[in-house]
């Protein structure tokens, strides 16, 4: 009898163990898969060699000749190892910029060696990009300032990049929104980190609800655009997200003036990834009082803003 009782006890213990086996992990929903695919594409864009992580310098040109290279006696000192002491000259004359190579330098534009040429700026849509070794640079225009944006494929922030992270994906952060258009063509002044202001067209106000509270955001778009660009801030800024705010792209409204704002697709500004980016800042009307715990969280780099 003792042996039978002992056997029954063992069977009971084993059956109890089987009964407490944890449930299998559930498969992610189609929505969660969609957000993760978006996030993967986002990270793939960040690690492109022409992306923000390779940005290594921003230099403002003075009227006249601006010598550049690795030596400290140049007007523009390019950082990095084994940079030639003198690489060439960038000349600013009024609104025009020209380039002259230093003797013996093999600087290229695409696949062609160049010694001297005028340079198109980024405001043209297709700036002329010069290259030497791992370095590329081109001319940018910011307000009244003309500058040189330098990128380096050996930038530690690029070489040591780790994928960005997201808040837990929650479909309740995807909310319907209604556009109330302005009666006339309207612009909103967008100020960047340099303090420059630029008027940007807006189609109206997007009205939406989070929980029981109503909010509005001012999107940026030209007539006929298929999507809206939103620069916004919220109560997570400076805590779990970048202090200046984040970006968001939403589809343009349909025939019924409705769209969806998906905060799970909110993403970091370029300034998160480089101190040399010139990011636009949220207009005052886009500073939300609620904490938007969705989308990309903050990302720290050496020397960041």
Contacts of 262 (CB under 8 A, 6+ apart): 173, 174, 248, 250
Q: Tell me where in the chain the CATH 2.60.200.20 domain(s) lie.
A: 52-159
**Quick one: pLDDT band at residue 147, thresholds 50, 70, 90?**
very high
pLDDT at site 21: 52
Mean pLDDT score across all residues of the chain: 91
CATH of 52-159, one of 3.30.420.40, 2.60.200.20, 3.40.47.10, 1.10.287.180: 2.60.200.20
pLDDT digits (tens, 9 = 90+) for 18-52: 445 555 556 779 999 999 999 999 999 999 999 99
pLDDT at site 74: 97
Q: Evaluate whether 293 touches 74 at the Cβ level (below 8 Å).
A: no
Question: Three-state secondary structure along the chain?
Answer: CHHHHHHHHHHHHHHHHHHCCCCCCCCCCHHHHHHHHHHHHHHHHHCCCCCHHHEEEEEECCCEEEEEECCCCCCEECCCCCCCCCCEEEEEECCEEEEEECCCCCCEECCEECCEEECCEHHHCCCCCEEECCEEEEEEEECCEEEEEEEECCCHHHHCCCCCCECCCCHHHEEEEEEEEEEEEEEEEEEECCCCEEEEEEEEEEEEEECCEEEEECCECCCCCCEEEEEEECCCECCCECCCCEEEEEECCCCCCEEEEEHHHCEECHHHCCCCCCCECCCHHHECCCCCCCCECCCCCCCCC
The CA distances from residue 208 to 179, 203, 261, 295, in Å, are: 9, 16, 8, 18
pLDDT digits (tens, 9 = 90+) for 222-246: 999 999 999 999 999 999 999 999 9
- The yes-or-no verdict on residue 175 having pLDDT over 50 is yes
More confident residue, 50 or 90: 90
pLDDT at site 181: 95
Q: What is the pTM of this model?
A: 0.85
- Rounded CA gap, 192 and 296, in Å? 21
Q: Mean of the pLDDT values across residues 287-293?
A: 98
């Amino acid at each position: 009898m003792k042996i039978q009782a002992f056997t029954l006890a063992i069977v009971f213990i084993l059956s109890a163990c089987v009964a407490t086996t944890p449930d299998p992990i559930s498969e992610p929903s189609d929505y969660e898969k969609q957000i993760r695919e978006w996030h993967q594409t986002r990270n793939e864009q960040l690690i492109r060699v022409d992306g923000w992580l390779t940005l290594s310098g921003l230099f403002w040109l003075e009227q006249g000749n601006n010598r550049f290279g690795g030596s400290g006696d140049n007007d523009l000192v390019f950082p990095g190892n084994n940079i030639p002491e003198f690489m060439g000259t960038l000349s600013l004359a009024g609104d025009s910029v020209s380039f002259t190579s230093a003797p013996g330098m093999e600087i290229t534009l695409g696949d062609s060696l160049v010694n001297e040429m005028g340079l198109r700026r980024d405001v043209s849509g297709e700036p002329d990009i010069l290259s030497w070794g791992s370095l590329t640079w081109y001319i940018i225009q910011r307000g009244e300032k003309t500058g040189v944006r330098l990128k380096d494929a050996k930038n530690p922030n690029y070489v040591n990049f780790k994928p960005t992270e997201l808040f837990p994906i929650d479909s309740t952060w995807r909310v319907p929104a209604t556009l109330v258009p302005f009666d006339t063509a309207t612009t909103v002044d967008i100020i960047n980190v340099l303090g420059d202001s630029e008027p940007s067209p807006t189609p109206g106000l997007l009205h939406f609800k989070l929980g029981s509270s109503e909010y509005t955001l001012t999107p940026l778009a030209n007539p006929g655009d298929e999507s809206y660009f939103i620069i916004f801030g919220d109560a997570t800024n400076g805590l779990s997200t970048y202090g200046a705010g984040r970006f968001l792209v939403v589809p343009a409204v349909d025939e019924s003036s409705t769209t969806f704002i998906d905060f799970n697709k909110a993403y970091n500004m370029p300034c998160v990834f480089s101190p040399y980016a010139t990011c636009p800042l949220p207009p005052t009307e886009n500073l939300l009082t609620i904490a938007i715990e969705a989308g990309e969280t903050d990302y720290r780099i050496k020397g960041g803003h």
